[in-house]
Amino acid sequence: MRALRTILLPRGEHARLSAAARKRWRDARAFRADVQATLVKQHVSFMEWLLLETVRELCDETGDAVSQNLVADRAGLTRQGTSYWMRVMSETALVDRGPSATGQAWRVILTDLGERTLRACNERLEQAGLTG
């Protein structure tokens, strides 16, 4: 895990209105890098973990497979990017992906392997202090 860096924010007349927002961006990028470094031994990318976690969360809420578009929206990703990663995760048996009843959308659910992988990832992240 990367050592924390202290970043001084300008104060007074030199403070920019966007300083706090840019700090949140840096913090989010640092979180992503820390998660990626923690999960490297699991052979799971940040994006795979983010999407597995999001699918699990939505499935818990609905009790069923969920729309891939809903996953994209909840994860804060584009539909195209989410579609790419869902195809990858389907090919590696982490998710089961199929057309909706109307055929106008994709629905996804975690496989047993996806559930086990997510559980192992979350245990590592918890041990690293990244889930709190």
pLDDT in tens, 32-87: 999 999 999 999 999 999 999 999 999 999 999 999 999 999 999 999 999 999 99
How far, in Å, CA of 77 to CA of 62, rounded? 20
pLDDT in tens, 92-128: 999 999 999 898 899 999 999 999 999 999 999 999 9
3-state helix, strand, coil in the chain (%, to 5): 60, 10, 30
Q: Determine how many CB atoms are found less than 10 A away from the CB of residue 102.
A: 6
What domains appear along the chain, each with residue ranges and CATH number?
20-127 (1.10.10.10)
Percent of the chain with pLDDT over 90: 79
What is this structure's pTM? 0.85
β-strand pairing of 106-110 with 95-99: antiparallel
Dihedral sign, CA of 44, 53, 74, 5?
Answer: negative
Q: How many residues does the chain have?
A: 132
